[in-house]
A and B are shown apart, each in its own frame.
Chain A
Amino acid sequence: MPPKNPKGAKAKQNPQEDQREDSLQAVVLADSFETRFAPFTFDRPRCLLPLVNTPLIEYTLEFLANAGVQEVFVYCGSHADQVEEYINDSKWTSKSSPFRALKVLKSTATSVGEAMRNLDNLDLITGDFLLVSGDVISNMNLEPALVKHRARREKSKDAIMTMVLRETGVGHRTKSKGSRPVFVIDPVAERCLHYEEMGHRRGGSRYVSLDPELLTSHGEIEVRDDLIDCRIDICAVDVLAQWSDNFDFQSLRKSFLRGVLKDYETYGKTIHTYVVTDQYAARVKSLRAYDAVSKDVLGRWAYPICPDSNLVRGQSYRLGAGKVYKEDRVMLGRTTDVKRSVIGSDTRIGDGSTITGSTVGRGCNIGKNVTIDGAYIWDDVVVEDGSIIRQAIIASRSSIGKGCKIEHGALIMFGAHLTQDSSVSANSWITRDDNKDHNSNQDSDDSDASSVGSSRLIYQSPSASSSLSSISTLASSEDDLEPPRDMLRRSSFRSDPSDDAGENRDFHVEATASILDGLQKNDLSDTIMLELNGYRMSTNASQHEVRKAVVAAFMKRISNLICGDNASGSGSMSMREAVKEVFTRYRALIERTTFDKDAEGKVDQVDFLMLVQKEVLWRPNGDQLLLFVAKEVYDMDIIEEDGVLQWWDDPRSQEGEMGKVRELTEQFITFLKEAEEDEESEEEDDDED
């Protein structure tokens, strides 16, 4: 940990001299380590996705510049090159940048925790710093918060962090509907005492459990769920040390905040809150928030962060009649009706088209008699005559044929093409896919099927199953996190294509979603199995595929339970607890998909473990997870010892990445092998925690 500047209050006298030390630093987490913006994030990092025609990160950097930050570190995970390229090209790295330094840090971190630990190692942070995610939009004046933070720091070195929270009423559009953070605050000391996330739906916790001592030791406490947590944290350097000291901290709130609060007795570190009541602050953390924040920006709530402030170099928006923000060189037809919208330059819109409450990017070409209502259309999109687009997101370079109908919540990916008269049902998404061999057999009307063939499209419509309504992006009130989408991401994009070849992808997508939904609803394993079997029959899927779906759903569920951050409802558990919980409850699901209990070669069991191994490859702390799962299935006798050992010896599980991820498990295997000899039972997992 870098030494802190010891000067304290005296430094105030000569600010000029110590400018170096005095500068406020900021860390922008450009990668959210989440998948809520999938599928867009396959091609572009989230922070570069346009919100009201401006990349998200611009808003964040603007906010930092506003706050007088001098040094910025942008921490990138996926697509780091794109972020770097963008930033190097922007005004922020130009000579006249308000920042004295702006560094892009690339890393392979897969969670906030890893990123923070990595940052600590890099030794870049020298004093108090702001920790924000790369999707914050705010016009907030941070000065009072900073002043308070510093005052506290002067009194006690243990006040390591101040969270800036925005007060809102109940049921606000930018608020997450999936989970509500609950802060227990001592209003006098402005100290956060307890933190919990509550879910709306079944399965989520509905109770806040307070340490009774809190009630006695504090004169006054507030339990608040009316705060928007924008993830704007003013941190002391010690925060990084905390992350480093606790290797199991993964997420900002669920593990870090809770961890620090829990350890208050031991270490005495305090975390404070600063509640803002005016001004604007929001985080574009999900597609739903994307919609809400876009509306806010259009409604000038984030003033002066408005389109017509033209904050990004080269923008030229002007606010005209009808609350339309237009850039230069926009060509509208004579009878085009545009209201409450933003239109980028070089876009042309044909006669008779109606555009309301929408954003249209640059260089778009919109034909005649097109209706666009509440949609977000990014750059270089072609929409041909007579199409109707409702609250959907159409990514850059895609094209929509004549007479298409795109319902609300639909997502059209980068570069996708829709042929004439297609219709896209609500909450589905369309992507350009280079694997030609997948066809949609679900819910796609004929026209779509034809478009699949002709334009190399894959049309996936998971909304067929009602359980998947949470895929809804804009209109759905369900959730911020769309777990099924995450699976889609893995199954259809992350997996090695050769591996997947010939698999019935749609089955996988559907089945996984349906299982997961069952898990989340705490359905009986029988019910889930029934549904699964029915589905398997109808699609003629193999047992391997069934297993694969089960594994995928289980893993997802486990990670939800752990990083409840993403809030599929329940509170956070340790990894071990989560694994145990899921497997105990639903062991039947596995047992009914493995049929080799009595056979000599435990093919199915090996297959199961192999699938688990493959699955955890992409997960944060996959190695730990694998260990826990292996132990758990063994302990519960779902997989026999032979199965485990056969899997371990299988060459497929030893190669490359696969080999790496199982390193931690080795001790368990060793233990097994020893146990075989010694017939001892042992508690091994203690060191793992």
Chain B
Amino acid sequence: MPAATGVTAPSLTTFTRSVRSKGISVESSTDNLISLLKRRQIRGSQACAIATAYLLRRVVESVKVTDVGRLIERVQQVGQRLVSAQPRELAIGNIVRRVLGVIREEAEEDREGETSGYSDAGTDSRPHTPRNQDVRSPEHSTILSRSFTSSPLRHGEKDEQVEAPGQWGPQRPPLLTSHASYAVTNTAPTVTSMFSLLSQPISNFPSPTTSPGSQSPGIHQSLSSQTLSNITAAKDLKAEVVEGIQEILEELTQADDQIAGYALEHIHSNEVILTHTSSVTVQKFLLKAATKRKFTVIHAEAYPNNHEATHAAAVGNVRGDFDEDIGAEKFQKALTAAGVTVVLIPDSAVFALMSRINKVILGTHVVLANGGLVAAAGAKAIAKAAKVHATPVVVLSGVYKLSPVYPFDMDSLMENGDPSKVIGYDDGGFVDKVKIENPLFDYVPVELVNLYITNLGGHAPSYLHCIIDDHYRPEDIDLDKVDVY
């Protein structure tokens, strides 16, 4: 039939296809994504993150001016709109912040390149910059991001340098070029906060006539767009940023496999593992472990929002929890086929069985700055039961799900789903008389979690804030600051 194929309901797949086509303007791609998010046609952390990354890549590519300030501003604007379109998908904001971080980092490197270009050709030093490893090796990224966060004093000085262009070059303070300075810079990022009290005007000290007004910008804004706009980036900045986004995308698709890589360290033979929902991350993790070990998986069915997928997962047909249709990996070999004993239980049986369980492994929707997590409804009950029985709770989460947002208002992060999953809409009498609620998420407080496993490895919950520090620039944490309209 004529209309046979043209009409597919919009989804992540259609979006990623359309965002790549040059025929569609960035503006309409943005609006398109916004409506997809609002209509929940793209949902789930991974799908949202991927869509955001694709869109931002397109945004970066399309920005005509090669001016860093404008670029940052543009990404902030788009990011802000996406975030407000679907404030509960924190992964969107995470990716926006990551991309902003990439841009800032590239901009800094560029300036670095320019100044060091005095002595040697700047461009060929680029391959040595360890930025790319950010994604892959935790140790490296830690060092790196710490170093790029740098000391406030330095930023301060930079400000001054920019204001007095005559002093460019020779007097620039060292940033990343000197390995010798690592010792100092390494300690820098949070010193920021404490020393900032005393520090900043030092940048102005050569000109004692400093007006009191100059004190106001916080240290974090020292790399403000205004400053940056003075520096027109090198030609390849855009390409670098796009490459950076590409790496984020790779990270997004690889995260699950990377997490699964740690499976053998955590799952031992003959253990009894409890899990919940059909999270792809968890399934891959368990499958990986099943390659070497024999163990038992008790699967809570996650009624009513995810039980069908969970049932399917039990027989090796993972469709993903909320993260449907990403990757479209039909990699599945059933756990049972891998020699794992799978037991499916209703959620209500969790407590009763908990005493026999060695480990609880949960997937999550998002991990918050305080280490608490927003996971599929039912997760809290499981975590709480585990606490009572002193069963360790392990949470699997890609770094992209780790959000620097502090959960001030839990309610606003919880989403209420479709009540017809609980009671069919056809039951007229019921619907009229009884209010039906179907929350999709649970907030699991940090004290119920024993271990987080991200694609960087296992972390104690109290260590999460370090990973957050490493991945997000403090100046980007509050995206709301940007005025969009």
**Is chain B in direct contact with chain A in the complex (CB below 8 A)?**
yes
B427 within 8 Å of A by Cβ?
A: yes
Residues of the A chain whose Cβ atoms lie less than 8 Å from the Cβ of B8: 68, 143
Contact B39 A299 (CB under 8 A): no
Contact B2 A91 (CB under 8 A): no
Residues of the A chain whose Cβ atoms lie less than 8 Å from the Cβ of B435: 299, 340
B387-424 interface code vs A (CB 8 A; 1 in, 0 out): 00000000000000000000000011000111110001
Contact B429 A171 (CB under 8 A): yes
Contact B6 A22 (CB under 8 A): yes
Contact B428 A153 (CB under 8 A): no
Residues of the A chain whose Cβ atoms lie less than 8 Å from the Cβ of B9: 66-68, 141-143
Contact B32 A318 (CB under 8 A): no
B62 to chain A, nearest CB (A): 14
Q: How large is the interface on B (under 10, 10 to 19, 20 to 34, 35 or more residues)?
A: 35 or more
A167 within 8 Å of B by Cβ?
A: yes
Complex: how many Å from CA A7 to CA B3? 10
A460 within 8 Å of B by Cβ?
A: no
B44 to chain A, nearest CB (A): 13
Which A residue sits closest to B38, measured CB to CB?
A: A309
**Contact status of A66 and B418, CB under 8 A, knowing A22-B2, A318-B412:** no
Pick from A4, A146, A278: contact of B424, CB under 8 Å: A278
Segment at the B interface, from A40-48, A94-102, A421-429, A567-575: A94-102
Contact B3 A128 (CB under 8 A): yes
B40 within 8 Å of A by Cβ?
A: yes
Pick from A15, A70, A139: contact of B5, CB under 8 Å: A15
A210 to chain B, nearest CB (A): 25
Contact B28 A96 (CB under 8 A): yes
Residues of the B chain whose Cβ atoms lie less than 8 Å from the Cβ of A303: 40, 416-419
Contact A67 B7 (CB under 8 A): yes
Complex: how many Å from CA A340 to CA B1? 46
Which residues of chain B in 1-37 are interfacial with respect to chain A, using CB atoms and an 8 Å cutoff? 1-10, 25, 27-32, 35
Chief secondary structure at chain A's binding surface: loop
A150 within 8 Å of B by Cβ?
A: yes
B303 to chain A, nearest CB (A): 15
**Contact status of A9 and B417, CB under 8 A, knowing A68-B10, A98-B10, A304-B39:** no
Residues of the B chain whose Cβ atoms lie less than 8 Å from the Cβ of A143: 7-9
B353 within 8 Å of A by Cβ?
A: no
A585 within 8 Å of B by Cβ?
A: no
A427-457 interface code vs B (CB 8 A; 1 in, 0 out): 0000000000000000000000000000000
Which residues of chain A in 303-324 are interfacial with respect to chain B, using CB atoms and an 8 Å cutoff? 303-304, 306, 309-311, 316, 318-321
B330-365 interface code vs A (CB 8 A; 1 in, 0 out): 000000000000000000000000000000000000
Contact B3 A22 (CB under 8 A): yes
Residues of the B chain whose Cβ atoms lie less than 8 Å from the Cβ of A127: 1-3
Residue in B25, B419, B438 with the greatest tally of chain A CB atoms within 10 Å? B419
Pick from A22, A70, A279, A320: contact of B4, CB under 8 Å: A22
Residue in B411, B418, B419 with the greatest tally of chain A CB atoms within 10 Å? B418
B317 to chain A, nearest CB (A): 19
Which B residue sits closest to A170, measured CB to CB?
A: B428
Contact B32 A96 (CB under 8 A): yes
Complex: how many Å from CA A97 to CA B29? 10
Which A residue sits closest to B438, measured CB to CB?
A: A300
Residues of the B chain whose Cβ atoms lie less than 8 Å from the Cβ of A309: 38-40
Complex: how many Å from CA A172 to CA B431? 8
A579-603 interface code vs B (CB 8 A; 1 in, 0 out): 0000000000000000000000000
Complex: how many Å from CA A298 to CA B265? 48
Residues of the A chain whose Cβ atoms lie less than 8 Å from the Cβ of B32: 96, 98
Complex: how many Å from CA A143 to CA B7? 8
Contact B39 A320 (CB under 8 A): no
B195 within 8 Å of A by Cβ?
A: no
Contact B420 A280 (CB under 8 A): yes
A355 to chain B, nearest CB (A): 16
Complex: how many Å from CA A309 to CA B89? 12
**Contact status of A19 and B6, CB under 8 A, knowing A169-B427, A301-B425, A303-B418:** yes
Contact B432 A22 (CB under 8 A): no
Complex: how many Å from CA A5 to CA B2? 6
Residues of the A chain whose Cβ atoms lie less than 8 Å from the Cβ of B40: 303-304, 309
Complex: how many Å from CA A348 to CA B40? 31
Complex: how many Å from CA A94 to CA B30? 12
**Contact status of A172 and B428, CB under 8 A, knowing A9-B1, A128-B1:** yes
A32-60 interface code vs B (CB 8 A; 1 in, 0 out): 00000000000000000000000000000
B221 within 8 Å of A by Cβ?
A: no
B41 within 8 Å of A by Cβ?
A: yes
A521 to chain B, nearest CB (A): 28
Contact B428 A146 (CB under 8 A): no
B427-460 interface code vs A (CB 8 A; 1 in, 0 out): 1110110011010000000000000000000000
Contact A146 B6 (CB under 8 A): no
A586 to chain B, nearest CB (A): 38
B426 within 8 Å of A by Cβ?
A: yes
B403 to chain A, nearest CB (A): 18
Complex: how many Å from CA A7 to CA B2? 7
Residue in A5, A91, A173, A303 with the greatest tally of chain B CB atoms within 10 Å? A303
Beyond A150-B3, A300-B417, A316-B84, 18 additional contacts (C-beta under 8 Å) are A5-B1, A15-B6, A23-B6, A65-B39, A66-B9, A68-B9, A96-B28, A98-B10, A143-B7, A150-B4, A167-B426, A171-B429, A172-B431, A300-B416, A300-B418, A303-B419, A306-B416, A321-B411
10 cross-chain pairs, A with B, having the tightest CB-CB distances, nearest first:
A22-B6, A96-B31, A172-B428, A96-B28, A5-B2, A303-B418, A304-B40, A15-B5, A150-B1, A24-B7
> What are 17 of the A-B contact pairs (CB < 8 Å)?
A4-B2, A15-B6, A21-B6, A96-B25, A127-B2, A128-B3, A142-B9, A146-B3, A150-B1, A169-B429, A173-B428, A280-B425, A299-B431, A300-B419, A303-B419, A319-B412, A320-B411
